Amino acid sequence: MRVSATLFTHLLLWMISAPLLAQQPQTIDHIYDPNVQTVLLFPQVSANPNDPALTLNPPVISLDEQVALQLEFDDLTANYRSFRARLVHCNADWQRSILNDIEFTYEYNDNPIIEYQTSINTKIPYFHYRFTLPRVKLPGNYVLVVYDERNRNNIIFTRRFSTYQNRITVAAGVRFSSAPDRQFSDQQIDLSINYKGYQVISPQDDFKVVIRQNYRDDREIRGLRPTNVQAFDQVLDYQLIDLSNTMPGGNEFRFFDTRTVLSRANYIDRIDRPADRNIAYVQVDKPRSQGAYIQSDDFNGQYVIDHRETGNGATNADYIETIFTLKIPEVPGVDVFVNGAFNFWQLNERNKMAYDALLGAYRGSVLLKQGVYNYDYVVKTTSAPPKVDENYIEGSYSSTENDYEVFVYHRPPASRADQLIGYRRVGVNKRK
């Protein structure tokens, strides 16, 4: 049998890259190198690559549209380093699939990151990198792995993203919970799936539905089963009465603005300007779990990087030591965190706060690039198993404005991995 030179080269390159697969990183959003900050992955839906609002969109794109995903991140070592990127295909549960690279990529799955710029007029110098992700063949879940070119085992960070092809129709709506005791705190997501024209053997079992709130992987609903199967119309209804399709509405996020250090912007108490860095003190916060819901606009926990004076946050925005203060009595048996998309919604030492007895408040410091940030406060019990409570300080209201996504996965007959065949975004309590 004759093998073409192109195919032979592709197979040879895949075999050479196989050792990297032996050491698989975690399939989560995570930064392993503390010198790397502000890892952004977003659809490039605008002709202006410096549009800060682009980063508010989740890294979920349609394979039927000519939209690419853009990666940006900063290296605070201030020395040029060679990075490479590769893709890992995952199933609906974000576990690595058994697919080979050539089954989901069009090109060799190992790309150098060669586009970079140096920071301009910043107290904390850095290299700013950009990389456009290559297109993939299959709809589904992927993890972008960036590693050190000189050491394949030195993984710098990982970022999740998804691609979809709408082969079915998803209808969804959000309302307050149907349970009387939760109607003022929880939101309920009702949905239906129309799979007319799509081949499926057991629709009530084969579709995997995931609901995500505000693009957060820590706010998901999984394992839903349809309450009604309309076999003739080929429609599945998910009108659940066991409250498995509800989640707390939360509260509108707090925010602050550090796009300039020349003056105090929104919710900044003061700015100190020592020679080596800038320090911004966010206004003192208080709990919001008691009292009525207060309407305000937010980014649903996200953030944008921007620089007021130049309009170019990518290289002109400086890194600022940002101080958070939460005025509450010390809470025994819990750790308190300031949380948001800036930390991938993860609770770790970077965003952990400490109680200051002199201030009578919790205080924390996080190094953040200039921009507009959403955040809130979370408590986690120190006893095992630890429990996370976002409503203890912030409260939860069904009137809160939120974004929801519905993902529908299916593994077609003779396929070896789950595919994302339905995707729908729906908002609730939208005001503009």
Distance CA 187, CA 174 (A): 7
Reported pTM: 0.93
The reply to whether 243 and 266 lie within a common domain is no
Distance CA 177, CA 198 (A): 32
**Domains held by the chain: number:** 3
> Do residues 147 and 84 touch, judged by C-beta distance below 8 A?
yes
Q: What CATH number should be reported for the domain holding residue 419?
A: 2.60.40
The reply to whether 160 and 13 lie within a common domain is yes
For residue 385, give its domain range: 254-394
Among residues 140, 164, 188, the one where a domain terminates is 164
The reply to whether 152 and 132 lie within a common domain is yes
One-letter identity of residue 390: E
pLDDT digit string, tens, across residues 75-130: 999 999 999 999 999 999 999 999 999 999 999 999 999 999 999 999 999 999 99
pLDDT digit string, tens, across residues 402-430: 999 999 999 999 899 999 999 999 999 99
**pLDDT for position 14:** 45
The reply to whether 150 and 27 lie within a common domain is yes
One-letter identity of residue 47: A
For the record, the structure tokens of 297 come out as 């606009």
The reply to whether 267 and 241 lie within a common domain is no
* Matching residue, tokens 């410091």: 365
**pLDDT for position 48:** 75
pLDDT digit string, tens, across residues 181-191: 999 999 999 99
**Can you spell out the DSSP letters for 362-420?**
EEEEEEEESEEEEEEEEEEESSSSP-EESHHHH---TTS-EEEEEEEEE--TT-SS-EE
Percent of the chain with pLDDT over 70: 94
* Matching residue, tokens 């953030």: 303
The reply to whether 64 and 10 lie within a common domain is yes
For the chain, give the mean pLDDT.
93
Distance CA 328, CA 413 (A): 56
Residue 22 pLDDT > 60? no
Cα dihedral 104, 107, 111, 115 in deg (nearest 10): -110
The reply to whether 155 and 180 lie within a common domain is no
**pLDDT for position 26:** 87
The reply to whether 13 and 155 lie within a common domain is yes
* Matching residue, tokens 């196989």: 18
